[in-house]
Structure 1
Amino acid sequence: MARTPLYKTAETEMIRRIRSGDWAVGLRLPNEFVLAEEFGVSQGTMRRALMSLEGMGYLDRKPGRGTLVADQDSVAAPPAPAACLRDITGEVPAFEVFRARALTRGADPAEADLFGTNRLSVLERTLRRDGARAGLDSVIMPEAILPALDEDAAVPLEDLLADSGLTSAAIEDQLSATVTSMSDSVALSCDRYTALLVLTRTARDRMGRPLARQTMRLIADGLTYGR
């Protein structure tokens, strides 16, 4: 089962308190250390949750004033469910890491043009689903942003970034299809020319600059992409 990041658990509970009125508009929240102790998480994890809620408009954080519960009239309505991968039951498939390798390397011309740098942090993984090898995953990002990627990082790109203390303003998805090469077939323990669904995800910051790109090449059997 896919794990829920700790900052998301804290974020969900804080949103519940705000929406229920337990935390009224204008309430000044305790500092990060006190909140972290209350929610049973680290101070860094609590900081990520607070930054996320600020970005959604639930909190107003200003130097000298602390963290206040914002006027809910300013909070935008929840967006429509994003398009995503789904299995034959309509559920979002859960992937786990089978093998992983983290490294740094030089960027190829297309990567250098995308990120504006010649050095990348890279995470290459073989993924499993329901106990069977299900896909090959590659995450790249500028080494200057994150010198090393964690081999145990979450598979969803937004969670991987959040666990690294980074927040994306938007994630763009591109979908294509291919078949396995000989090396792919060996890595995935599948037949040659097995159909693959290729999902390329690019995370960008608020200025539109790319933070990271994830390319997932997944065995297509039973997978769809949509809302």
Structure 2
Amino acid sequence: MAQVTRTPLAEQAADLLLERIRAGEWSLGSKLPGENTLGPQLGVGRSTIREAIRRLAGQGVLSTRQGAGVFVAALDVAEEWSAALRQADINSVIEARIAIEVEAAALAAERRSPADLRAIRLAADKRDAQRTDMEAHVDVDIAFHRAIVAAAHNPILIDLFDSFTPRSRQAMIDLLRLRDEFGSDVDQHAHTAILDAIADRDGQTASALARKHLLTLKME
């Protein structure tokens, strides 16, 4: 039986479960085995199985019934619906990022300390160095933007950013997969330009550049 061999594990586990559903191993409306059975079959832990089930439930393939288990709700993913849902979520995330990060960039330019600026520069360097692994690139990108929000010295903004990070991370990964490219020189330059404006204490330029960059991420 096929086992998960690549990361991200939850996505691979979801793909393998979907393959088995497509192959007819479980019919429409049937109940899936429990996590303790599926985990060893796929070579992953229970938390990974739970995340895989959540992914397939979000795509309308599985349905979780409280106290009863997980059931097959569809025999395949409705691709057009799934893509539209991902695109809508990406745009919602970007709009929320604009609301948080554009103002944070302006405040960071006004309030940043030398230590803040060093932290943003270090995050920018790490972002520049990580252009080969997609998920790692998203992580260093988030760290760069968080350093800017932290430099704004507004505890509410940093709390909003941190609470929003898990959903933002997944949306950015989905975006890069849909675009099938990341880590370009143009993209890195856009981030460096924001850093330079903050270093120059030019809040108007910093916020304008942050807005411009985030708007380029929106899906048409």
* Greater percentage in strand: 1
Greater RCO, CA 8 A, separation 6+: 2
TM-score interval for Structure 1 and Structure 2 normalised by the shorter chain? 0.3 to 0.5
- Please give the TM-score of this superposition, normalised by the length of structure 1: 0.43
